[in-house]
Structure 1
Amino acid sequence: MQPQHSNNTTALSPWWLPIALESGQSWQYTLGPLTLYLQRLHSEWWLGFTRLGEQEDRHQLLSQNIEQLPQLDNLQRFVFRESPARFCLTPRLLDRPVVVKTRTQLSIPPAQQAVFYISSPVEVAVSLQQPECKLAEIASQRLSDTWFGPSTLHGELCYADKTQARHNRSELPARPHRAVTTITIENNADSMLMLDKLSIPVPYLALYGLHDGTLWTDPITLQHEGNHALTRFKISKQLPAGVTAASRVAEPRQHIEKQGLIRAFTGMFND
């Protein structure tokens, strides 16, 4: 795929396709809050990035040729006998679960279930092709660390994020740097289930990229049995509408244990 100048647009398109650069050519790629800068020379590649803060977050997708790289403190230089001709950006889910705090508390009555669409930011793997060489993985959005568990001795280190926990798929905003997870929550307990935080086990999920530029993960089901310690976690075999196995762009980072139990709700429910 030869580089083409693209103007800033709200419409998304797949950004994980390879782009060829001529020697001496520089390129800018903006994915939401993350902007990557690449330059190819005869025997070198240069890579740097900038990232907006949470309050400055934007949803744009921009890919364009630029005259030269900006002055960046994080510029990296990769030296080759002869530089590969193409670069490729590949989305990957984060390496830790993402604990999302809902903007309003959610309540699910006994024997009921609810479906939510919750997104999480991806990392961007920057690779060269012909021959293939991975340069770096860069988080599209900086998330803070949080501990998720009943105590400082039991639990795990996660990332913290915020969400609106949308109930309607049509309400999802188009954001190139975030992947949507369809989450079904089943309340199998005999009391009201109330939650304002939820842990999404993204390292166990595969990632899918669609022709419209949106990213989706494997759907999951979380079953609440009234036990605060553990929740049964299942990956659905049925992908969301419009998502096929052929659109998979990244494999899971981890595999689920046979029990399929995770600390998805630990300390987050009030019966």
Structure 2
Amino acid sequence: MLHHASPEHSPLAPWWGPLSFMVGQSRAWRLGSLYVRISRNINEWQLEYHRPRHQNENMQDWEILDIDTAFSEPTVLERYMFAHTGDSLSLYPRLADRSVIVKPINPIFIPAGQQGTLFVSTPLWMAGFVGGQREPLFDIAINRPKDSWFGPDTIKGELCYATPVEGRTDLKQLVPRAFRAVTPVHFHNTSSTLLQLDRMNLPVQALPLFHCSDSGRIWTSQIRVVQDTPNRPPRIRIENRTPPQAGQVAFIQPPRIGEAGLFHMFDSFF
């Protein structure tokens, strides 16, 4: 069951999990700056939410609200029709439905023969699942990133998200956040030349999600990048594990898609 974000519970306590609804019952939350209300009727589920025009990414706390809490305008109301609704609905975090562009503020260089891990955090979505349905009823960003284009020109490329991305080589410097997941990207430069990381297109749709209850962090599996030949694209592989720094983790959600698109992860890797 969900934990209440009260003084007795950390804001990093899971905001997701299975929920039980009676007919006519509603539940409401504030997740960062997003206000959400879910209601069950005999023949439909309802999702109502309010997203402020300008969301504050630094708002990473959450709380359970009184069901009568009035949301600010405008609100969005989505209705999902059923022959008869069941009594359970589960909320789960998901990674973004597009790739996320990671552009370090300061240049990152990987000398010849060296290796290291960059820990990157990206925003999470909230998905609602009911029994008998493989796909979620709803799937919305908690803090919606900006749209951006990733590619060599306006024709070749793909629509992605651009968001303030924290990238740290020391995990201790990466503040745990309730609505962001940590992706470890391990670089190994086996070539004979110095490489500079300009920017990369992180394929989060191809990554599974895990949770560490000790730290409160949400993790993805590790991505391994090996550059063994200068002036050629690196070899990229999604590993089926989290790094040792993640600690003991529990599985939350599978990837949205397969590993398609990994070959376009980088557009400049010098």
- Bin the TM-score by the shorter chain: 0.7 to 0.9
State the distance in 1 between where 2:56 and 2:130 align. 32
State the distance in 1 between where 2:241 and 2:132 align. 36
State the distance in 2 between where 1:60 and 1:223 align. 37
Normalising by structure 1, we get a TM-score of: 0.83
- The alignment yields a C-alpha RMSD, in angstroms, of 2.9
Aligned-partner SS, 2:172: helix
Distance 1:65 1:199, change over 3 A: same
Match of 2:225 in 1: 222
- Report deviation, 1:266: 1.4
Match of 2:203 in 1: 201
Decide whether the 8 Å contact of 1:85 with 1:129 is kept in 2: no
- Report deviation, 1:197: 1.9
Aligned-partner SS, 2:169: coil
State the distance in 1 between where 2:159 and 2:240 align. 28
Match of 2:11 in 1: 11
Aligned-partner SS, 2:121: strand
In structure 2, stretches of 5+ residues that fail to align are none
Give, as a single letter, the amino acid of the residue that structure 2 aligns with 1:266. D
Give, as a single letter, the amino acid of the residue that structure 2 aligns with 1:60. D
Match of 2:48 in 1: 48
Give, as a single letter, the amino acid of the residue that structure 2 aligns with 1:77. R
Match of 2:255 among 245, 248, 252: 252
- Report deviation, 1:193: 1.8
Match of 1:235 in 2: 238
Give, as a single letter, the amino acid of the residue that structure 2 aligns with 1:24. G
State the distance in 2 between where 1:226 and 1:145 align. 33
Q: What is the total number of aligned residue pairs between the two structures?
A: 264
State the distance in 1 between where 2:239 and 2:133 align. 36
- Report deviation, 1:198: 2.1
State, as a whole percentage, how many aligned pairs show the same letter: 32
Decide whether the 8 Å contact of 1:99 with 1:199 is kept in 2: yes
Give, as a single letter, the amino acid of the residue that structure 2 aligns with 1:154. K
Decide whether the 8 Å contact of 1:7 with 1:64 is kept in 2: no
Aligned-partner SS, 1:176: coil
Normalising by structure 2, we get a TM-score of: 0.83
Match of 1:109 in 2: 111
Please show how residues 110-259 of structure 1 align to structure 2 within 5 Å: 110-129=112-131, 134-212=136-214, 213-225=216-228, 227=230, 230-241=233-244, 242-244=247-249, 247-256=250-259
